[in-house]
Structure 1
Amino acid sequence: MRDSRNGTGDAYGLILDAIDSGIYRPGDRLVESELADRFGVSRTPIREALQRLETQSLLVRDGRSLIVASLGHNELAELYVVRAELEGLAARLAARHATLEEVRVLRAMVRDDAALVDDPAALSRSNRRFHRQIHLASHNRFLVRQLGLVHRSMALLATTSLAAQGRGQAALDEHDRIVAAIEASDADAADAALRAHISRAFETRLRLDAARDPEA
């Protein structure tokens, strides 16, 4: 018999991935039996995974049901403030501690992502991998853990800012500057470049939100 803890972990990851990939969007109701059928997992680990996601504020109660949480304007601003601080620190530490191999991987990611500029969904997935690589290059497990929580909350954003006109190429140019600073072991420049990158992403997202029909 499979360890129930592993089953819970599998169910948690499957639901989180489904939220992250847009299968379930903010406001969508998650039904235990439907999730069990979709993922081929028994209802007990699904139930435990839902409780864990609720504890992390990725799901909220709507009566007796659980729905995918959404982020209001103030929550979005708070999330980006924390993200800029932690990501900037990760870039600063990466500039000090990244190995030559890690820098080469980051450089290759920037180069390869040029082929994804016209595919916002694919570029968004690759963008997450790029940032994750910077987190790992910081060589600080506590920071990596906290950034994991922040990026899980980013899954609650229904759209990617990379879908904005011209944002994909601009983001890649910003990634290039971040990697250049890390490669040069310039901690201040890496921190500043990463913070500027997050700031521009936040501004783009605010523009996208402002352009939406308020009645939609």
Structure 2
Amino acid sequence: MQDPRQSQKDAYALILEAIDSHLYKPGDRLVESELAERFGVSRTPIREALQRLETQSLLTRDGRSLIVASLDHSQLSELYVVRGELEGLAARLAARHAAPEEVRVLQDMLEADKRLINDPSALSRANRRFHKQIHLASHNRYLVQQLDLVHRSMALLATTSLAAEGRGAQTLQEHADIVAAIAAGDGDAAYKALRDHISAAFVTRLKLDAAKVEAAE
């Protein structure tokens, strides 16, 4: 018999992954019975997972319904400020503590990701793996936990900034600069390279949002 705690964990992970992969986008309504049928999980762990996601502000109430939350301009700005500082710290610590094997993994990721430059969705997934690898290479469990929370909130962005023209190639070059600094053991350079990378991504997202507003007018 399956452990109920495992069912709850699985339900939470399944719904979170569905939001992260944009199967459910900001504003989409999540219905308990539909989720249970889609994921083959009973309604009790689904209900508990939805409550947990609401507590984490990934879901919000629209009347009696739960919908995937969205980020307004202020929340987006706040999120990128925090992300830039925490990611920069992770890169600084990775430059100090990463094992040679961890640096090699980052370098291999750089080479593999070149093949994805014309596939924004695949490159976005690869980008998350790349950043997660840097988080782990920091060898600071508390920082990794905080970055996990930040990246859960990033799932509330309906589109990836990597879809912008030229952003894929720019991102790969920025990743290369980050890895070079980590490989050289230069914490200050690694911090700056990753902060600049997050800043460039934020600028791109602001331009995309501005273009959407202009198109709607």
Tell me whether the two structures share a fold, i.e. TM-score over 0.5. Answer: yes
Superposition pairs for residues 146-185 of structure 1, below 5 Å? 146-185=146-185
1:91 Cα deviation after fit: 0.2
Match of 1:61 in 2: 61
SS in 2 for 1:66: strand
User: How far apart, CA to CA, are the structure 1 residues paired with 2:213 and 2:115?
Assistant: 32
User: How far apart, CA to CA, are the structure 2 residues paired with 1:157 and 1:14?
Assistant: 18
User: How far apart, CA to CA, are the structure 2 residues paired with 1:4 and 1:82?
Assistant: 35
Q: Percent identity?
A: 74
User: How far apart, CA to CA, are the structure 2 residues paired with 1:50 and 1:183?
Assistant: 41
1:213 Cα deviation after fit: 3.8
Q: Unpaired segments of 5 or more residues in structure 1?
A: none
Q: Counterpart of 2:197 in structure 1: which amino acid?
A: H
Match of 1:76 in 2: 76
Superposition pairs for residues 199-214 of structure 1, below 5 Å? 199-213=199-213
Match of 2:6 in 1: 6
SS in 1 for 2:94: helix
Matched, 1:32 2:6: no
Q: Deviations over 1:16-57 (max 9, x none)?
A: 111111110000000000000000000000000000100100
Q: Deviations over 1:161-201 (max 9, x none)?
A: 00000000000000000000000000000000000000000
SS in 2 for 1:118: coil
1:63 Cα deviation after fit: 1.1
TM-score, normalisation: structure 1: 0.99
Superposition pairs for residues 113-192 of structure 1, below 5 Å? 113-192=113-192
SS in 1 for 2:121: helix
Q: Counterpart of 2:121 in structure 1: which amino acid?
A: A
Match of 1:90 in 2: 90
Q: Counterpart of 2:200 in structure 1: which amino acid?
A: R
SS in 2 for 1:212: helix
1:64 Cα deviation after fit: 1.1
Match of 1:104 in 2: 104
User: How far apart, CA to CA, are the structure 1 residues paired with 2:84 and 2:5?
Assistant: 33
SS in 1 for 2:196: helix
Q: Counterpart of 2:57 in structure 1: which amino acid?
A: S
Large movers: runs of 4+ above 2 Å = 213-216
SS in 1 for 2:66: strand
Aligned length: 216
User: How far apart, CA to CA, are the structure 2 residues paired with 1:186 and 1:61?
Assistant: 46
SS in 1 for 2:74: helix
SS in 2 for 1:61: strand
Matched, 1:19 2:16: no
Q: In angstroms, what is the RMSD of aligned CA positions?
A: 0.8
TM-score, normalisation: structure 2: 0.98
User: How far apart, CA to CA, are the structure 2 residues paired with 1:147 and 1:93?
Assistant: 14
User: How far apart, CA to CA, are the structure 2 residues paired with 1:138 and 1:19?
Assistant: 27
1:74 Cα deviation after fit: 0.4
Q: Unpaired segments of 5 or more residues in structure 2?
A: none
